[in-house]
Structure 1
Amino acid sequence: MRIKDKVAIITGGARGIGKETALLFAREGAMVVIGDFDAAAGEQTLAELKSTGARALFFKVDVTDRASVQNMVDATKGEFGRIDILINNAGITADAFLTKMTEEQWDKVIAVNLKGVFNCTQAVVPIMMEQGSGVILNASSVVGVYGNVGQTNYAATKAGVIGMTKSWAKELGKKGIRVNAIAPGFIITDMTAKVPEKVLELMQSRTPLGRLGVPKDVAAAYLFLASDEASYINGQVLGVDGGLMI
């Protein structure tokens, strides 16, 4: 029960890494709020959470829409009285080579993966500052560190998330708010299902641990950074990649 009675908002919490994190946080004693654009998957995950006896809420939220985000944050504060943890997990891809990437592909990924993180964080920070405590965890990626062919937009957002993480850690640390990022490698989710099998095999062969990651690998890292065990960790990017970035 490492985060007992903490209130955690998890964006992109309906499926994949977000869902695994929501279920783990509930088992560890947290009250969990899922924000996701996929209403059907969100309701299903909410039902799973409630079946375990957890206190949980689901909001259909568009992280690119500030009003949508603010509604989720206000309702969470109204229901639980506080917000202790924000996990900016929502993200999308729209891959193409630079010469073929459309403006629409660029704008869509920037809006969700970068502006969405900004919107959600800006909405919760006043509450955390009033409390004098809070944890913000952002989803970056190994791609944000070393780039990737065909992912100009995605790599740019994930590198941007690292920059925001470090800036916010400096701004908010004295307010009792820790800000860190996770940089997953290739994790088996719906998102990687779009990646060609040959690419996944190549990434697996380059990973020192010799396997691709699974959602629980990332969820466990989120849990550690959200807990008091990580109370002196701030402004860091934790690679959860099996050693891929070595």
Structure 2
Amino acid sequence: MSARLSQVSGHLTNSYGRGLLAGEVAIVTGAAQGIGRSVALLFAKEGAKVVVSDLDEKKAQLVVDEIKKAGGDALAVGGDVGADDFPKKILDATIKKYGKVNHIVNNAGFTFDRMLHTTPDDAWDIIMKIHVRAPFRLIREAAPYMRVKDQKNRENRSIINVSSIAGLHGNVGQANYSSAKAAVTGLTKTIAKEWGGFGVRANTVAFGYIKTRLTQAKEQGAAIEIEGKKVALGIPGMKEPAPDANYPNIPLNRPGEPDEAAAAVLFLASPLASYVSGHTLEVTGGQGI
């Protein structure tokens, strides 16, 4: 058994400080709720030291507190991923506390839905800024810590960019979001080609219908404030599905849970995916096949 594969013997563990990501450091953006929170908690459970980043630093700290209470190690860094100073801020905090970074999960994002012919420039620009420009700038800032030339002392390192089924197939009312999520795939493949020689893997995870605040009813009032503008989150008129609801466009006939989404991200970050790079993993319950 190779040294790399020996790290995963025993598979998932329930104890902190051991596991698939033992001793590694991961930055997770948009990690105060939904998929990002589940990723942060699962990574910590698998032994990673997690930098929990979110626009709402108080909520990010709650996730950190939860990790620490369970015996893990984490740091909260608040801020807007689209801000010019954000990449340096979070990398400086990460290196100061942990001395390295192994994984970056670019999960932060939101939707700003309009029909194409009524989409204003600002709704286009902000989605591109958060979903494409922000991940690019954070990855670029991390380059000195990820592109390690010493082949003998390389640790497991990866970039995981979050996309969507909308980026693969398009979606009504989401010209901006679909375009941004399609761009993420091209960015990821380029990183895989440019940084592969340094032992860095880069993959995309494209989610389908996962139960988060982005897929709940817009009438529930979830919103975020970006650059002074309040953006409502969710789907207009979305109703809570009945226990026996059918989903004819999803072969598994149900939406996914945030913890299921997080498990896919863990796979891509872990040594289980040591020879997986430049790939787009669809986590959709079969939707879109």
Q: Normalising by the residue count of structure 2, what TM-score does the alignment of the two structures yield? A: 0.82
Q: Is 1:183 equivalent to 2:206 in the alignment?
A: yes
Aligned match of 2:230: none
Deviates further, 201-210 or 217-226 = 201-210
Q: Is 1:111 equivalent to 2:129 in the alignment?
A: yes
Q: Which runs of 5+ in 2 are unaligned?
A: 1-18, 217-233
Q: Is 1:174 equivalent to 2:205 in the alignment?
A: no
Q: Deviation at 1:125?
A: 2.0
Letter of the structure 2 residue corresponding to residue 211 of structure 1: R
Cα pair 2:50 2:74 within 8 Å, conserved: yes
Residues 203, 38 of structure 1: CA spacing in aligned structure 2 closer, same or farther, 3 A cutoff? farther
Which SS does the other structure have where 1:207 is aligned? coil
Q: Is 1:139 equivalent to 2:185 in the alignment?
A: no
**Of the candidates 108, 120, 128, which is equivalent to residue 90 of structure 1?**
108
**Of the candidates 223, 233, 238, which is equivalent to residue 197 of structure 1?**
238
- 1:31-64 deviation digits (Å, cap 9, x = unpaired): 0001111122112112111111111000112111
Aligned match of 2:273: 230
Q: Is 1:49 equivalent to 2:92 in the alignment?
A: no
Q: Output the CA distance in 2 between the equivalents of 1:199 and 1:119.
A: 37
Cα pair 2:246 2:253 within 8 Å, conserved: no
**Of the candidates 151, 156, 159, which is equivalent to residue 174 of structure 2?**
151
Q: Deviation at 1:199?
A: 11
Aligned match of 1:220: 263
Deviates further, 104-113 or 195-204 = 195-204
Q: Deviation at 1:203?
A: 9.0
Q: Output the CA distance in 1 between the equivalents of 2:67 and 2:240.
A: 34
Cα pair 1:166 1:235 within 8 Å, conserved: yes
- 1:171-194 deviation digits (Å, cap 9, x = unpaired): 110111000000000100011111
Which SS does the other structure have where 1:205 is aligned? coil
Q: Output the CA distance in 2 between the equivalents of 1:164 and 1:11.
A: 17
RMSD: 1.7
Aligned match of 2:87: 69
Letter of the structure 2 residue corresponding to residue 77 of structure 1: I
Q: Is 1:162 equivalent to 2:180 in the alignment?
A: no
- Larger helix share, 1 or 2: 1
- 1:145-173 deviation digits (Å, cap 9, x = unpaired): 10000000000100000010111111110
Which SS does the other structure have where 2:71 is aligned? coil
Aligned match of 1:40: 58
- 1:101-136 deviation digits (Å, cap 9, x = unpaired): 111111111111111111111111221113745200
4+ residue segments displaced more than 2 Å: 130-133, 196-205
Aligned match of 1:126: 144
How many pairs were matched up? 246
Cα pair 1:63 1:119 within 8 Å, conserved: no
Letter of the structure 2 residue corresponding to residue 174 of structure 1: G
Letter of the structure 2 residue corresponding to residue 220 of structure 1: A
Q: Is 1:12 equivalent to 2:30 in the alignment?
A: yes
- 1:36-95 deviation digits (Å, cap 9, x = unpaired): 111221121121111111110001121112312211111101111110010000111100
Q: Normalising by the residue count of structure 1, what TM-score does the alignment of the two structures yield? A: 0.95
Which SS does the other structure have where 1:121 is aligned? helix
Cα pair 1:87 1:138 within 8 Å, conserved: yes
Deviates further, 32-41 or 208-217 = 32-41
Q: Which runs of 5+ in 1 are unaligned?
A: none
Letter of the structure 2 residue corresponding to residue 135 of structure 1: S
Letter of the structure 2 residue corresponding to residue 61 of structure 1: G
Q: Deviation at 1:200?
A: 7.9
